Amino acid sequence: MKLLLVEDDLRLADALGDALGEAGVLMDHTASGAEADFLVATERYDVVVLDLGLPDGDGTHWLGRWREQGLKLPVLVLTARGRWSDKAAGFSAGADDYLTKPFETGELLFRLRALVRRAHGHAHPVLRVGDLALDTHTGVLTHAGRPVTLTAQELRLLEYLLHAMPRLVSRLELAEHVYARDQEPDSNVIDVQISRLRRKLGASLIETVRGRGYRIVSPDDGMTA
């Protein structure tokens, strides 16, 4: 998962960056709505976490602007404002979820993973293809009932492909969703990661469509999730 945090509390942003990083989540951070407006237009994210009390305008202003522009990216409002009127304003502006401060990081992670999963059309937290199962809440991957250990990067890559399947994912889309903004992996890096996943999970799991990208191949050409 790759998210954008729009939060002007730098201590909170640093703490979240550390906690989410330990959970395998890539996070970009900005303290202003204007920069967030630029980033959502130029970068690929799976979800946005948006504070309401920003120095350059209320978060609902920026959220409403994004929705008017057709941005369908899931947005979770994270704010100290807990009144019903504030929640109503957030949802009316286009929020997909609303969490008040103080909060548990674990709950935030559960909510974010649910938003990303549903954005890809999956209702169940466990993504399955053949004998492979990935619990998106815990990050536990099993193959034929046995746990499989992946690196953080391999897990991010596999999780994105599983969320997207059976859709074909281009190299550019894959790179933008599973690598940090300051990283610019070349195609060879992605090829190496794909090769490692094939060695661990089976050569037939991931198909390479030359010149176009990658996709998960289900034994029955379908998916259960």
- The CATH number for 197's domain is 1.10.10.10
Give the per-residue pLDDT at 222.
43
Residue 40 domain boundaries: 2-119
pTM strictly above 0.85 = no
Show which of 81, 96, 119 is a domain's final residue.
119
Does residue 221 form part of some domain? no
Angle between helices 187-201 and 171-178 (to 10 degrees): 80
What is the tally of structural domains in the chain? 2
> Would you say residue 225 lies in a domain?
no
For residue 177, the model assigns a pLDDT of 83
Instruction: Tell me the C-alpha distance between 121 and 223, whole Å.
Output: 11
Whether 223 is in a domain gets the answer no
Q: What is the pLDDT of residues 168-225, one digit of tens each?
A: 999 888 888 887 776 666 658 888 899 999 999 988 899 999 888 999 988 765 444 4
Q: Residue 133 and residue 214: Cα distance in Å, rounded?
A: 19
Q: Is residue 66 part of a domain?
A: yes
> Quick one: 136 and 111 in the same domain?
no
Mean pLDDT per block of 10 residues along the chain (225 residues) reads 95 94 91 96 94 94 95 94 90 95 92 92 90 90 92 91 91 84 70 92 90 86 44
Same domain, 99 and 188: no
Look up tokens 């990083």; give the residue.
21
> Is 22 domain-assigned?
yes
The candidate with the shortest Cα–Cα distance to 51, out of 1, 101, 104, is 101
Residues 6 and 115 in one domain: yes
Residue 7 and residue 115 share a domain: yes
The answer to whether 101 and 196 have CB atoms below 8 angstroms apart is no
